[in-house]
Structure 1
Amino acid sequence: MQDPNADTEWNDILRKKGILPPKETPVEEEEDEQLHLQSQSVVKTYEDMTLEELEENEDEFSEEDEHAMEMYRQKRLAEWKANQMKNVFGELKEISGQDYVQEVNKAGEGIWVVLHLYKQGIPLCSLINQHLAQLAHKFPQSKFLKSISSTCIPNYPDRNLPTLFVYRDGEMKAQFIGPLVFGGMNLTCDELEWRLSESGAVKTDLEENPKKQIQDQLMTSIRCSAHTHRDGEEDSDED
């Protein structure tokens, strides 16, 4: 005799026609479903409350309410952790032209991608790779990539190196092309971080542009030197 609870197309047809009774739900599944519905009901009751209101009503929580709330909290925490782990990178990854579509265009919704086109033997490229490795560790939610220019873009001119492309959702949001843009070998990691933060690729904790500090110090030094020079000339005239 055929089991009326078996998962078969024939039994499904018979159930739809009312010939067979609805499929029995295992006791464990029923309990899980009731607990889930209960947690939704409890959360819906209290989710609009402020912290003060929750504290005021805490004494009214039954043991079942607290269990349901804890179950919901653990579920949401697990979902958050899983989502965070999916979008953690933390290192400067080498790619080739064949990896471009997968690593850049399909990086994921809302993911910032920083791609460095470089060539071995160019000191500034090496410096930027060092800085990007540090920034990749500091900003693991952003994706940092490097690729030898000729393998990523055939015949890409060396005069344009180093080059940084910044993408989000497969669209280019910023580009930094050529050594003059970076200011040469004096480029610091903080300065590069600031430039990337201006494009949106990272959320920096720097309070102001490090380059501006250097420029301000330079201008102060020039003004002091000019002032000292004028004072020296005035003293000479008096003599």
Structure 2
Amino acid sequence: MDMNMPVNVPVDDPNADTEWNDILRKHGIIPEKPPSPTPMIEEALVEARRLAHENRLEGKDLDELAELEDEEDEDFLEQYRQKRFEELATIQSTSIYNQVYPVQKPDYSRDVTEASKKAFVFVLLTSSAGTNIESKLLSEIWRELAQKYGDIKFCQMQANLCIEGYPDRNTPTVLVYKDGDIKKQIVTLQDLKGDRTAIGDLEDVLRSVGALKPNDPRLKRRDEADANLSSIRRGGSGPGVGQDDSDSDWD
């Protein structure tokens, strides 16, 4: 018998904790048993619970923080109040635009590219024919966004005046600028909701590119308004809303 020939050692379960497997591992016949994932999973869960507890006040506005005065440590609450005040102050101090800026081609570099080094700049290229429904829709939404988010610069111009020969079928087109470069472009509203696109859909775009923070208080008001509208459409739950008067005493 050739002593150098490999020996096939029967192993029922190489991962089992048995004395026989320990001997085989010691001599390198079977690989070391991989570490159990359980401790790592448990550690991750503990860390997730810790972070959730530490960040339990993230996203709450000043009114919501005031409601928690009896439940939270006052010094801890004050830290979050100060943080909210600073966020609101930043929004107020940077809200310098608040309107849609018409752009001319000779001024494009100054009004868009250079301006994007100070703030996000969203450029709307509209139909030149004036009959494009999506262009008209987005022009209306553009005005709403500009008034609501004054720390973002919203510009608008006819597509053919910006890019000679730009096809009308590609309008509306949205170009997102930041730090002198185009960060995103949207060609028509096909990837949104077409002619059913609403301001909330564009706010999601603002959030996705980083122009709005996920916990921006202005978004919170929108979410509350959407929830109220949804409640109304379902019939509501308040007194006199959605009630059936078939049992009225006047029957």
Provide the TM-score with structure 1 as the length reference: 0.49
Bigger helix fraction = 1
Provide the TM-score with structure 2 as the length reference: 0.47
